[in-house]
Structure 1
Amino acid sequence: MKIAAIQMVSSPDMGRNLARARHWLEQAAAEGAQLAALPEYFCLMGQRDTDKLALAERLGEGPIQRMLAEAARDLKLWIIGGTLPLATPDPLRVRNSCLVHGPDGRLAARYDKLHLFCYDNGRERYDEARVLEAGETPVVAEAGGLRIGLSVCYDLRFPELYRAMGAPAPLDLISVPAAFTHTTGQAHWELLLRARAVENIAYLIAPAQGGLHENGRRTWGHTMIVDPWGEVLACLPEGEGLVTAEVDAARLAQVRQQLPALQHRRL
């Protein structure tokens, strides 16, 4: 299966962001991709964390979900829809949710981000828990014959999440839509992505926000696709665009046969 990871530099203008996302999904389909993944917060990078509250949608309703469903159906794509804000009973909290749509446009999976980012180095400060409600359950999506472990950004730092998802059966692909800060991304992004691919012997797709945003925030970018040996198959350092690669079932089987580490776990 050919997969595409889309990088964006999203703005505070939701309409403009949705149009750019649709453009890149169309480009992914034109390049022969059967699955395309958008970055975290593809629909909005607001001036304030609370801006996302005004855009919160109920599951199955709203312009963001409508764009994803229509694009999947029109383009005959599996779409891993980055993240969007889904409403909760608390008007001051939303879920940061990743929705997967199939080529028929139907919702195939929903994952709510489990781990909420918090960072303060004295110059930059982030605390997602101020406006986000954490998810509760790991989710594996079945898409085009692939077992896909869904995760979002900060989840990447918690290897036990991927172990839990791969316990019933190995994952074929790990998905990590992200908006890593430039500071943390420069230090840890590639290191963590390659480690998660290697230790789970799985392909990994990591579509990212990548550049200087209108709200002044700078994200690291470096959208990547990594193979089960940890080799970076494709990378886009900065700016809008996409990268593609093949998920090769034979390559996956070969690595697992040569190094059967998943069978050697004792804990």
Structure 2
Amino acid sequence: MPICLSNCSFHVNLNSKRNLLLCPTRHVRFRSLTVQSSGIISSDPAMASNSVRVAAAQMTSINDLAANFATCSRLVKEAVAAEAKLVCFPESFSFIAAKNGESVKLAEPLDGPIMQRYCSLARESGIWLSLGGFQEKGSDDAHLRNTHVIIDDSGNIRSSYSKIHLFDVDVPGGRVYKESSFTEPGKDIVAVDSPVGRLGLSVCYDLRFPELYQQLRFQHEAQILLVPSAFTTITGQAHWEILLRARAIETQCYVIAAAQAGKHNENRESYGDTLIIDPWGTVVGRLPDRISTGITVADIDFSLIDSVRAKIPIAKQRKPYRVLDICISVIVQSRKPPMDEQPTRKEHQKGKINKSPSLLGKASCLPPVLFCPDNGPPPSLHQTLVVAYDSRNDDLSSYFHIKDGKSF
């Protein structure tokens, strides 16, 4: 039965002219980080009014810091005039390079002059900013971090998240991208409280990894998922809206996806189509022109979040696959291990680890491993769990049983 929407949506246009796949090469082990802010609206409905307004900005960034800041300033003014409490900007809002290496040379720490200018903008405008995809200085001169920054209306950085999944792909049409060649991946999952609800942070390519958003919803109680992006035109046409609506539906969260749009330079063009999507999967905010510069505004309706989650109670109905939040070394044998060294089905179901020295060899560090509580199959004959460690505790004895895993 359709759910009645009470959301109000309008547009301002400034251009009048872990259900993880066990694939070690594609998934990243990450930690969880929750940011609490006293006095800020969180997932407790008693702390929030029935609805609150947000804005999502769309722009075409170039390799000019001053020009991009001027565009952001205009968009902030429009969001304030629309009575939004939060305005979300796309990935690479402050700078998009025209040449290789420009972004790395420009990268700064979060307390540098570029970000401090945006902090001043938030303070002077009295609005929260979601700045997705800032070029934060990395651990060496050859790398940066693709960092999503949340600034409050007093100009303070409340939280930051570094993009976990890097865009290393061969896009149809011949273009090859290798973000990891100049970007360090993040490790922490980040959620933060704000005046518009509890925010789950991500950046662009993260959108294709639903386990991240599952953890933001079910472990960190996110109500709004932020997905600042700069999708290519090819991938955007094929996947952009359907991925965003899927994340909204499967997590029963609002999704705010601020997007880069149009041609940045001779070598780069972004898809655009900035969207705000409600927990039912309905688009409630969208610019009339897919590649125009402007904002779209919608109301976050907390009663709608509660209604959708009550009518389809997936939080209660989920099958709690267990995740051992540890790094596991897996030996891939070229032959079947001797029978006396193979874990029995009973040992496997209890999560016991076979530490036989004769099986030690070349190992690779893999992401968390899923165990199904309903008598899942034993390990492959060519894979034997041999070593496990937890980043918080070097004593392995307490981590040999599935009961110590996490549900997500």
- If the length of structure 2 is used for normalisation, what is the TM-score? 0.64
Cα offset, 1:170, TM superposition: 2.9
Q: 1:71 aligns with which of 111, 121, 124?
A: 121
- In structure 1, the residue matched to 2:157 is 107
1:165 to partner: Cα distance = 1.7
- After superposition, give the CA deviation of every residue in 1:86-126 in whole Å (9 maximum; x if it has no partner): 11221000000011001111110010000000222352111
- 1:240 equivalenced with 2:293 (yes/no): yes
Correspondence for 1:203 among 254, 259, 269: 254
SS at match of 1:195: helix
Alignment of 1:244-263 (within 5 A): 244-263=297-316
Which of 264, 273, 276 is the equivalent residue of 1:222? 273
Q: Distance in 1 between matches of 2:212 and 2:220?
A: 14
Specify the SS of the correspondent of 2:80. helix
* Equivalent pairs, count: 266
Q: 1:44 aligns with which of 65, 72, 95?
A: 95
Partner of 2:338: none
Greater mean deviation of Cα atoms: 236-245 or 212-221: 212-221
- Over 3 Å counting, the alpha-carbon distance change for 1:49 and 1:225 in structure 2 is farther
Q: For structure 1, which segment, 122-131 or 104-113, has the greater mean C-alpha deviation from structure 2 after superposition?
A: 122-131
User: Deviations 1:152-197 (Å, cap 9, x if unpaired)?
Assistant: 0000000000111223353210000000000001000000000000
Within a 5 Å distance, the mapping from 1:21-32 to structure 2 comes to 21-32=72-83
**Residue identity matched to 2:167:** F
**SS in structure 2 at match of 1:25:** helix
With 22-31 and 91-100 compared, the bigger mean Cα shift is at: 22-31
Q: 1:51 to 1:215 in 2, by over 3 A?
A: farther
Whether the 8 Å CA contact 2:54–2:196 is kept in 1: the answer is: no
Quote the Cα distance in structure 2 between the aligned partners of 1:53 and 1:26. Answer: 30
The SS at the match of 1:245 is strand
Identity %: 36
For the Cα contact (< 8 Å) 2:60–2:264, is it kept in 1?
yes
Distance 1:20 1:145, change over 3 A: closer
Structure 1, unpaired ranges of 5+: none
Measure how far apart 1:214 and its partner are: 2.3
1:25-53 Cα offsets, whole Å, 9 max, x none, are 11111111100000000111111242111
- Note the aligned Cα RMSD (angstroms): 1.2
Q: Secondary structure at the match of 2:264?
A: coil
Which residue number corresponds to residue 95 of structure 1?
145
Match of 1:138, SS? strand
Change (3 A) 1:84 1:32: same
Distance in structure 1 (CA, Å) of the matches to 2:220 and 2:258: 24
Gap change, CA 1:169 and 1:122, over 3 Å in 2: closer
- Which of the pair has more CA radius of gyration? 2
Q: How far does the alpha carbon of each residue in 1:38-81 deviate from its partner, in whole angstroms, 9 at most, with x for none?
A: 00001111112421112111121222x12221121111111101
CA distance in 1, matches of 2:133, 2:127: 17
Give 1:14's aligned residue. 65
Alpha-carbon separation, structure 2, partners of 1:82 and 1:174: 12
The answer on whether the counterparts of 1:45 and 1:215 sit within 8 Å (CA) in structure 2 is no
2-structure distance, mates of 1:80, 1:247: 16
**TM-score, normalization by structure 1:** 0.96
User: SS state of the match for residue 54, structure 2?
Assistant: strand
1:213 deviates by: 1.5
Structure 1 residues 27 and 87: alpha-carbon distance in aligned structure 2, compared to 1, 3 A threshold: same
- Corresponding position of 1:138: 189
> Structure 1 residues 230, 44: CA separation in 2 closer, same or farther (over 3 Å shift)?
same
**1:93 partner amino acid:** H
Stretches (4+) displaced over 3 A: none
CA distance in 1, matches of 2:266, 2:194: 35
Q: Which residue of 1 aligns with 2:221?
A: 170
Q: Structure 1 residues 223, 145: CA separation in 2 closer, same or farther (over 3 Å shift)?
A: closer
What residue in structure 2 maps to residue 264 of structure 1?
A: 317
Deviations 1:191-233 (CA, angstroms, capped at 9, x unpaired): 0000000000000100000111224311110000000000001
Structure 1 pair 145–43 and aligned structure 2 pair: CA distance change class (3 A): closer
